[in-house]
Every structure is written in C-alpha cells, then in structure tokens.
C-alpha cells in the first residue's frame, strides 16, 4: 500500500496553525478588532490593531474595505490612518497600502505611537470620509533582549571557565 501524499489544504492549515502559534504572522494581518463592518460612505470597514494589548512604539493597523451593497472587497482605495493623543501633543499619520499585506484584500500601515495614554485613531477613506475609535495605549513592555544577552554571556564565560579548569 502506498503512503498518501498530504493535500495542499492540510499543508496550508498546518502552516497557518504554526504561524498563529509562533506569532510569525502578527506583522501582517490579524490582531485585535477595533471596528467591524463599520459604515464609511458606500463602504464597510474593518480595522485590527497589533500588538495586543496596544503598547507605545510601533502599532500595526490592518484594514479591510468592502462595498456595503455587495460585500465585494475594495483593493484600490486610498486610505490614511491618523493617530492623535488625547493630550493634543501631536498627531502621527501614515498611508495604508496593500503592497506589503498578507493578501491583496488588506491594507496595512505601521505608525509609531511614542507615548502611552488614550489615542484617537481615525481611518480616512478618500472620497468616503473618516471613521474613528479610541485606543488606550499601554507603556512599552520592558525588552527581554538585554537580560537574554547578559544570560548568554554569563553562560559563555562559565563554559570557558569550566574548560580552563579541565585543562
């Protein structure tokens, strides 16, 4: 009896599961839904943010746009994302694009939100208008890079010391 070859669907499902479990897909698509099928002009818009919870630093926005009448995806719109802190210290603006998106049906933008606090996020679709939502941004979590590097250095020095003692 010959072994069956895995089907393409099973392989894709396994890859999607691996990406979801490892977090490798977080940079493109996915995240926490902020708006779901919100009306904006003749469209419906869905917006996801990543990371979750939102933290100071780079915030990734994934946007899906569809015609309200038919639900058909819109892939040629001009979309801009605007983030304004509640304290009015200055806004951050970026253009959403399908160029680096996981699929041609998503628009994506990365904005650097430098400070924690309440931010008002506005997504503007050219010719259709804006839609907004509040986003509570937490302080940036501490980086684990420095403690990891220090631990690796200590392990390396301990190993070298052990080798020296064995001689």
Please report, for residues 24, 31, 32, 48, 123, the alpha-carbon distance to residue 92 in angstroms, rounded to integers and kept in the order given. 26, 20, 20, 17, 12
Whether the predicted pLDDT of 12 surpasses 80: no
Give tens-digit pLDDT for 77-130: 999 999 999 988 889 999 999 998 888 999 999 999 999 999 999 999 999 999
Residue 19 lies in a domain: no
Residue 74 within a domain:
yes
Residue 19's pLDDT band (boundaries 50, 70, 90)? very low
Whether 15 maps to a domain, the answer reads no
pTM of the model: 0.70
What CATH number is given to the structural domain containing 72?
2.60.40.1930
Show the tokens assigned to 87.
Answer: 């304290």
As a whole number, mean pLDDT of residues 43-67 equals: 96
Q: Which residue has the tokens 């210290």?
A: 89
- For the chain, the domain total comes to 1
CA atoms within 13 A on the CB side of 157: 6
Query: Which residues are paired to 85 by β-bridges?
Result: 119
**Residue 67: inside a domain:** yes
Mean pLDDT for the chain?
84
Q: Give a yes or no: residue 161 inside a domain.
A: no
Q: What percentage of the chain carries pLDDT values higher than 70? A: 80
Residue 7 lies in a domain: no
64: containing domain: 27-152
Is 87 within the bounds of a domain?
A: yes
User: Is the pLDDT assigned to residue 4 strictly greater than 70?
Assistant: no
Mean per-residue pLDDT, 6-33: 50
Q: Which residue has the tokens 């506005």?
A: 122
pLDDT bin (cut points 50, 70, 90) of residue 51 is very high
Please check whether residue 134 lies inside any domain of the structure: yes
């Amino acid at each position: 009896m010959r072994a069956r070859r895995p089907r393409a669907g099973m392989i894709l499902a396994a890859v999607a599961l691996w990406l979801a479990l490892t977090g490798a897909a977080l940079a493109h698509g996915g995240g926490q839904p902020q708006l779901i099928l919100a009306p904006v002009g003749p469209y419906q818009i869905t917006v996801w943010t990543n990371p979750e919870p939102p933290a100071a630093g780079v915030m990734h926005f994934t946007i899906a746009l569809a015609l309200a009448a038919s639900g058909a995806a819109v892939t040629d719109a001009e979309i801009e994302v605007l983030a304004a802190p509640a304290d009015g210290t200055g806004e951050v603006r970026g253009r959403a694009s399908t160029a680096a998106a996981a699929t041609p049906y998503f628009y994506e933008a990365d904005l650097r939100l430098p400070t924690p606090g309440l931010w008002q996020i506005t997504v503007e679709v050219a010719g259709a208008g804006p839609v907004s939502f509040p986003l509570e941004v937490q302080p940036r979590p501490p980086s684990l890079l420095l403690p990891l590097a220090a631990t690796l250095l200590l392990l390396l020095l301990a190993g070298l010391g052990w080798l020296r003692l064995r001689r």
